[in-house]
Amino acid sequence: MSQKQYNHLVGLEKWPAPAKLNLMLRIVGQRPDGYHLLQTVFQFIDLCDWITFHPVNDGRVSLQKTIPGVPESDDLIIKAANLLRAETGCALGVCIEVEKNLPMGGGLGGGSSDAATTLVILNKFWSLQLSTERLMGLGLALGADVPVFVYGYSAWAEGVGEKLEKISLNEQWVVVIKPDCHVDTREVFSSKDLTRNSKSIRIADFIAGKQQNDCVGVVCQQYPSVKNALVALSEFSEARLTGTGACVFAQFDSEDAAVNAYASLKKNKWQVYLAKSLNESPLFSKLKAGKYIS
């Protein structure tokens, strides 16, 4: 496939930016600079934003439509594209169209995932040939969750979330509730009541059932609507918080059980999503299916 043909195909495609869940979150320490040291497990779900990259001839990087209240220059997508250009000296431009489906401020990683898809696809679209490791490094400069979306597979994570180890998990049906609030992550991590000295565990311990989230107590105390969502969802399956929230989720072994929970919760006018968890990012599944990567 010629570069011209490849650019044409990429420019016509919609590329997924999937959500993630934190299946566990332990805070095992704090660095001198204030950043918390974590152990967490990331898994993707098939709920996605969709991004289209339109070639332009004027060398500009822009959004086709901005998010209300977010200046274009502050959007992580634009920051990702400009960082990629600055890192490589690339002078090419692009107009980026975003179909936003992931709730903002929900802890599903929407902005980070959008940025990661931008890095991965423009790296190919612009023939920059940066390695996955280098793209992950760029992603970390944009946010702690960006590297796992560039990595593209379920992962055990440590450090501030950037030290990743591939892990294969059961792919189950998932119901997610987005409470009517926006959790301030900095506020949660600065709380005097937050546990910061959990004992480090191994992957085997997580698999055996040690799947706590150290942020739950603080978040439920500060955001009653999150607590209410956990209570409502727990009537159907074990309900958990993803990251610092606001979203809560529960896993189901069968589609019927998940659909039943989804339908019941929707009746109560919760903002609810039905999804399937995935070990491989839908972005990389699509790239492989189109033979853009081997």
The pLDDT assigned to 9 comes to: 55
The pLDDT assigned to 4 comes to: 61
Specify the pTM. Answer: 0.94
The pLDDT assigned to 34 comes to: 81
Residues of the chain with pLDDT under 70: 1-11, 291-294
- With helix as H, strand as E and coil as C, how does the chain read? CCHHHHHHHHHHCCEEEEEEEEEEEEEEEECCCCCEEEEEEEEEEEEEEEEEEEECCCCCEEECCCCCCCCHHHCHHHHHHHHHHHHHCCCCCEEEEEECCCCCCCCCCHHHHHHHHHHHHHHHHCCCCCCHHHHHHHHHHHCCCHHHHHHCECEEEEECCCEEEECCCCCCEEEEEECCCCCCHHHHHCCCCCCCCCCCCCHHHHHCCCCCECCHHHHHHHCHHHHHHHHHHCCCCCEEECCCCCCEEEEECCHHHHHHHHHHHHHCCCEEEEEEEECECHHHHHHHHCCCCC
Q: Which active-site residues does the annotation give?
A: 20, 145
The pLDDT assigned to 1 comes to: 44
The pLDDT assigned to 69 comes to: 82
Domains, in order of start, for the chain: 3-167 (3.30.230.10), 173-278 (3.30.70.890)
The pLDDT assigned to 10 comes to: 59
